[in-house]
Structure 1
Amino acid sequence: MLNTGTIYGVNGPIIYLKGNTGFQMSEMVFVGNEKLVGEVIALDKDLTTVQVYEETTGLHPGEEVIASGNPVSVTLAPGILNNIFDGIERPLEKISETGGPFITRGVSVDALDKKKKWKTHITVTKGAYLHPGDIIAEVPETHAIVHKCMVPPNLQGTVVDTAPDGDYTIQDTLITLELNNGAKRELTMTQQWPIRMARPVQNRFSASKPLITGQRIIDTMFPIAKGGTAAIPGGFGTGKTMTQHQIAKWSDADIIVYIGCGERGNEMTQVLEEFGKLVDPRTGNPLMDRTILIANTSNMPVAAREASIYTGLTLAEYYRDMGYDVAIMADSTSRWAEALRELSGRLEEMPAEEGFPAYLASRLSAFYERAGMMHNLNDTDGSVTIIGAVSPQGGDFSEPVTQNTKRFVRCFWGLDKSLAYARHFPAIHWLTSYSEYLGDLASWYHDNVSPKFVDYRNRLIALLNQESSLLEIVKLIGSDVLPDDQKLILEISRVIRLGFLQQNAFHKDDTCVSMEKQFLMMDTILYLYKQSRSLVTMGHPMSVLKSEDIFDRVIAIKYDVPNDKPEMFAQYQRDIDAFYQRVLEKNA
């Protein structure tokens, strides 16, 4: 018999029940006559507090609240990929079929299609002893991803019966397991898992492999590891969403989970339409074949916005358990924090800085800590990488969400408004950004790209830092009074900024760049700097060096050299040597 309670008070998305209801903490409940979905968030002997994930207009005291007996959970089975869910894993396309373009209150639809049959290959045999997480069947979920059905993490036992290979729904029995206590348990493709609980693993690895994104300022300057965490803070219009789109399309993650958390409805619509049209550069099939979209717009109830982050994270962990590398794009964690603030205000909790709850930092840390490169229960290795956009009001990085996020991420890609307005994209500023993964990944770069890679990267950063210092002087007294060696630093920094850091998402060769080309571009730029510095040291003025077109030619490398023709860089080295000889002869 399920526990019930009666509504005593309603405060926006917060519902109060008087008396001892017998409900459990974090239990999912159904509120009122329309069976709105809610979650128990506070309990004492005389009062139960519930947050409702749907619009509460029209609810009144006296309506019944029914417990489900289970925590708020997601359904895990084939059919998650190439789907669009709301914040509590309700498929939006199914909702639109039943209730039109707007989500109606109390709508009840299955998270996944229970009638669709999937071609299934059973991977275990009768008599086998299975441990938690062991793979029992494989299902081609999309063209890109094979779904691996697993033993739930809390079960183990001996296989006493298996179904033959064939077509099955997600509710059909695949194997029968005899547990250690003698009880029999039928396993299907479906699992349920609480969204606020991390899925168990055997071991967590330290960062050792980068997530290759094809974006030079990320891969070379401020890399993120697979299983790492990154924040993209920036004001309105600086390119947070577009940076995440580029990473989603071009990174070497197997699966993308995009969480639109509290974003504007028209922006979310644009995301959904664009993702539907994108072609996967790996396979030529739609990118949606390996993408999960969670849409929670700013006009949806705030409680569901708060839950959407955990829903996406749990789906990501499920695919990580199969041995896949998953990247989460959370856009944006500021809207999630604002939902926390609103709920906290409704609960009359003591506010902290800027009205955010005192537990903002612990919630952020709990979210980002679920990222990582893991050794799973079934002896596969997988990762969850979290890239969270932050939308500080007015672009102020000193506000609480940005500052607390910086404490828990190891990669910070600070977007700059002036760069965005100057059409320099990605607008990640090289002076405010950092990556703590560089040292962890140095050996990977050494073995897979070049032993010189990290040294070259550090030299480029050093030149950009020198440029920043020199520009302060230039503002005061102009550039004409600088000595030629400092003028050269300004010129070579311009080459780095325009030719290396700036990237054109609409150019076929520049939208995604291989690590080999990134290294050869650095090599060419630094070779030009070496030869030019040699000329300046010999007394040749910068005006003579700039009269040649070599600096602009090196800037244009990003367009002129295709990714698959690295041999063309040898010609640029010869051109730089020819430029060196011409300057020598001019001033002989």
Structure 2
Amino acid sequence: MTGRILGIAGPTVTVDISGLRLYDMVRVGTAGLIGEVVRLERGRAVVQVYEDTRGLAVNEPAAGMDAPLSVQLAPGLLGGMFDGLQRPLRRLEELAGPFVAAGREVFPLDRERTWVFTPAGNAGDEVAAGDLLGHVAEGTFRHPVTAPRGGRIERLHAGEFRLADPIGRMADGRDIFAIAPWPVRRPRPYRRKLSPSLPLVTGQRTIDFLFPVARGGTAIFPGGFGTGKTILEQSIAKFADVDIVVYAGCGERGNEMAELLEEFVTLADPWSGRPLMERTIVVVNTSNMPVAAREASIYTAVSMAEYYRDMGCHVLLLADSISRWAEALREISSSLEEMPGEEGYPTYLSSRLAAFFERAGVVETLGGTVGSLSMILSVSPPGGDFTEPVTQACLRTAGVFFMLDTALAHRRHFPAINWFQSYSLYEPEMVAHFDGHVSPRWSEVRRRCREILQREEALREVAEIVGIEGLQDADRLLMKVAERIRHEFLSQNAYTDDAFSAPDRTLARIAEIVAFHDRAGEQLKQGVLPDELPRG
């Protein structure tokens, strides 16, 4: 399928290729820029180009690639850093320097690297799609290789292989490979979806104790500029109790992503002690990259996350930020002259976001194992306005809402999660789990903590009128204890050893503060003044 360019409007190019399908990939111009079909009309197609179109001219050649945008799924993804089209950044730097050159195509994985395949089946076995065929050693990770379709195995090759080599053959004559492409906009299949029942431990006390996230759940944390969204998301990426982390830097500043990449390379996983990058995949699409690739980047990231979920792994997808993705969607929609919705966003913004959130969850895989994909997404509402369309669309679908408070950030309280406005829909099940697996005191101490904070909030207005000295002794004690909770428990420094707090340490710290309140209350009854009470 070939043709020529009919018109160019920024990143939107019209071509006269017939036979194209919606979302097919197209190469345009003599530079071979890659784009995606976003509209089909009689005798022509509208292509959104993923790269800079400067220098492109009318009547230059165009060719359809007969396939949608796809990711290559195989051993070798872990520890990788890719752009929104799954081009390997390290390899691109070697070939073209620190800036991504337009028209540069590089295969995402190393096809010359040698792997070792250990079969788990035998010739003559009947298998269904998703059944285990064997494993590939990828560092300490045993990478399962599953059957791409049902049928009888003719043979399996044990030993060394490259990604271009088949590892076996089916009885129908088709080869079996350890690598396979997958269209990024199509969710990967599974047997059935299960209800989330286990907590996703993040190491952040405010989250794990007050607003727990479930494995397979979804969470958002909107906040204005300077509220610590990026630092919080990076802290969760470092310390979350999951098997695999996929981090998507969607439209963020290049210097922030550079700092993250430099830091991740040197960090150790607190759960295993191994290098953090061994369990991490980073998808980078900074603010100076084309918007079409930014819009595609979260689908590239979630497809790789689903791939590991289908192996029975617990996977966490982090995106910073989903607002930048929505802005790219708005820009693409405007260039297509579609009917705008609220604040210029396309009318299908909510449905697109809902469909993306639906790819999270706990599933029974085709191979019979259980895996989970959790999502924690940051939102950057302009001016900190939580009534704007992206935040509201996310709120309709997300299971947890962490409100990042500008006032808390200005007081240097981080993470700046407002403990009165935030909520978790997974709270009953997760609290019951912590009661059974950490301590039966978890729910009671949690209730006492929230009660103290709520009573302090009510007293704060009174204290502003009459002053602290005008309060009763019991109320002054409560204000003192609430201040300890805020400073010693809810606040965490992301750059010290306190950046990660395991559930048992979390409970011990808050239980000590609550116990101090109870002891001090008894001493008050004996005539000891709040200011004279010992700290511990």
Fold similarity call, TM over 0.5: yes
CA distances 1:542-565 after superposition (whole Å, capped 9, x unpaired): xx2322332xx4xxxxxxxxxxxx
CA contact (8 A) 1:327 1:385 kept: yes
Q: Structure 2: which amino acid aligns with 1:76?
A: L
Local SS of the residue matching 2:213: coil
1:583 matched residue in structure 2 = none
Question: Structure 1 residue aligned with 2:97, among 87, 93, 100?
Answer: 100
Q: CA deviation at 1:539?
A: 6.7
In structure 1, how many angstroms separate the alpha carbons of the residues matched to 2:206 and 2:405? 14
CA distances 1:20-71 after superposition (whole Å, capped 9, x unpaired): 7110111111112111111111113244111111111111221222111111
CA contact (8 A) 2:30 2:61 kept: yes
Q: Does 1:540 align with 2:527?
A: yes
Local SS of the residue matching 1:200: coil
Local SS of the residue matching 1:480: helix
1:338 matched residue in structure 2 = 327
In structure 2, how many angstroms separate the alpha carbons of the residues matched to 1:116 and 1:276? 21
Q: What is the percent sequence identity of the aligned residues?
A: 44
Question: Structure 2 residue aligned with 1:90, among 87, 91, 109?
Answer: 87
Question: Structure 2 residue aligned with 1:36, among 21, 33, 36?
Answer: 33
1:162 matched residue in structure 2 = 156
Question: Structure 2 residue aligned with 1:521, among 485, 492, 509?
Answer: 509
1:117 matched residue in structure 2 = 114
In structure 2, how many angstroms separate the alpha carbons of the residues matched to 1:75 and 1:295? 17
Local SS of the residue matching 1:298: coil
In structure 2, how many angstroms separate the alpha carbons of the residues matched to 1:322 and 1:462? 43
In structure 2, how many angstroms separate the alpha carbons of the residues matched to 1:528 and 1:49? 67
Q: Structure 1: which amino acid aligns with 2:25?
A: M
Local SS of the residue matching 1:158: strand
Runs ≥4 in structure 1, deviation > 4 angstroms?
none
The aligned runs of 1:502-581 (5 Å cut-off) are: 502-508=491-497, 510-536=498-524, 538=525, 540=527, 544-550=529-535, 553=536
In structure 1, how many angstroms separate the alpha carbons of the residues matched to 2:462 and 2:348? 45
CA distances 1:68-109 after superposition (whole Å, capped 9, x unpaired): 111111000111111110001010111112112211111111
Question: Structure 2 residue aligned with 1:354, among 322, 338, 343?
Answer: 343
In structure 2, how many angstroms separate the alpha carbons of the residues matched to 1:150 and 1:55? 38
Local SS of the residue matching 1:74: strand
Q: Structure 1: which amino acid aligns with 2:319?
A: A
Q: Does 1:150 align with 2:142?
A: no
Question: Structure 2 residue aligned with 1:57, among 39, 54, 57?
Answer: 54
Q: CA deviation at 1:408?
A: 1.1
Q: CA deviation at 1:417?
A: 2.0
Q: How many residues align?
A: 536
Q: Structure 1: which amino acid aligns with 2:13?
A: I
In structure 1, how many angstroms separate the alpha carbons of the residues matched to 2:464 and 2:357? 41
In structure 2, how many angstroms separate the alpha carbons of the residues matched to 1:479 and 1:97? 63
Question: Structure 2 residue aligned with 1:369, among 358, 361, 381?
Answer: 358
2:219 matched residue in structure 1 = 230
2:443 matched residue in structure 1 = 454
CA distances 1:197-227 after superposition (whole Å, capped 9, x unpaired): 0000111111110011121111101110001
1:8 matched residue in structure 2 = 6
In structure 2, how many angstroms separate the alpha carbons of the residues matched to 1:125 and 1:184? 16
In structure 1, how many angstroms separate the alpha carbons of the residues matched to 2:81 and 2:199? 28
In structure 1, how many angstroms separate the alpha carbons of the residues matched to 2:256 and 2:384? 19
In structure 1, how many angstroms separate the alpha carbons of the residues matched to 2:273 and 2:197? 29
In structure 2, how many angstroms separate the alpha carbons of the residues matched to 1:222 and 1:349? 39
Q: Does 1:421 align with 2:410?
A: yes
Question: Structure 2 residue aligned with 1:381, among 360, 370, 388?
Answer: 370
Q: Which moved more, 1:512-521 or 1:119-128?
A: 512-521
Q: Structure 2: which amino acid aligns with 1:252?
A: D
CA distances 1:94-147 after superposition (whole Å, capped 9, x unpaired): 11121122111111111111111012212211111111111222112123x221
Q: Structure 2: which amino acid aligns with 1:459?
A: R
Q: Structure 2: which amino acid aligns with 1:158?
A: R
2:476 matched residue in structure 1 = 487
In structure 2, how many angstroms separate the alpha carbons of the residues matched to 1:13 and 1:260? 21
Runs (5+) with no aligned partner, structure 2: none
In structure 2, how many angstroms separate the alpha carbons of the residues matched to 1:475 and 1:352? 44
In structure 1, how many angstroms separate the alpha carbons of the residues matched to 2:249 and 2:499? 23
CA distances 1:487-533 after superposition (whole Å, capped 9, x unpaired): 2221121121112111233333x222221222222322222222333
Q: Structure 2: which amino acid aligns with 1:109?
A: V
In structure 1, how many angstroms separate the alpha carbons of the residues matched to 2:292 and 2:381? 21
Local SS of the residue matching 1:445: helix
CA contact (8 A) 2:128 2:147 kept: yes
In structure 1, how many angstroms separate the alpha carbons of the residues matched to 2:465 and 2:46? 61
Q: CA deviation at 1:424?
A: 1.6
CA contact (8 A) 1:201 1:374 kept: yes
Q: Structure 2: which amino acid aligns with 1:524?
A: E
Question: Structure 1 residue aligned with 2:77, among 52, 70, 80?
Answer: 80
In structure 2, how many angstroms separate the alpha carbons of the residues matched to 1:484 and 1:539? 12
In structure 2, how many angstroms separate the alpha carbons of the residues matched to 1:486 and 1:48? 70
In structure 2, how many angstroms separate the alpha carbons of the residues matched to 1:463 and 1:237? 28
Local SS of the residue matching 2:499: coil
Q: Which moved more, 1:417-426 or 1:286-295?
A: 417-426
Q: CA deviation at 1:282?
A: 3.0
1:438 matched residue in structure 2 = 427
Q: Does 1:171 align with 2:167?
A: no
Q: CA deviation at 1:9?
A: 1.3
**Please, what TM-score do these two structures have when normalized by structure 2?**
0.97
1:294 matched residue in structure 2 = 283
Q: Structure 1: which amino acid aligns with 2:170?
A: L
Local SS of the residue matching 1:524: helix
CA RMSD of aligned residues (A): 1.5
Q: CA deviation at 1:478?
A: 2.1
In structure 2, how many angstroms separate the alpha carbons of the residues matched to 1:125 and 1:241? 48
> Alpha carbons of 1:293 and 1:345: their partners in 2 closer, same or farther (altered >3 Å)?
same
CA contact (8 A) 1:232 1:240 kept: yes
Q: Structure 1: which amino acid aligns with 2:409?
A: A
Local SS of the residue matching 2:193: strand
CA distances 1:380-410 after superposition (whole Å, capped 9, x unpaired): 1111111101111222222211121111111
Q: Structure 1: which amino acid aligns with 2:11?
A: P
In structure 2, how many angstroms separate the alpha carbons of the residues matched to 1:303 and 1:70? 17
Question: Structure 2 residue aligned with 1:246, among 215, 235, 252?
Answer: 235
Q: CA deviation at 1:341?
A: 0.8
Q: Which moved more, 1:306-315 or 1:262-271?
A: 262-271
CA contact (8 A) 1:142 1:290 kept: no
Q: Which moved more, 1:194-203 or 1:348-357?
A: 348-357
In structure 1, how many angstroms separate the alpha carbons of the residues matched to 2:242 and 2:71? 23
CA distances 1:297-346 after superposition (whole Å, capped 9, x unpaired): 10100000000000000000000111111111101101101101111110
CA contact (8 A) 2:399 2:424 kept: yes
CA distances 1:137-161 after superposition (whole Å, capped 9, x unpaired): 2112123x22112222xx1100011
CA contact (8 A) 2:473 2:530 kept: no
1:496 matched residue in structure 2 = 485
1:569 matched residue in structure 2 = none
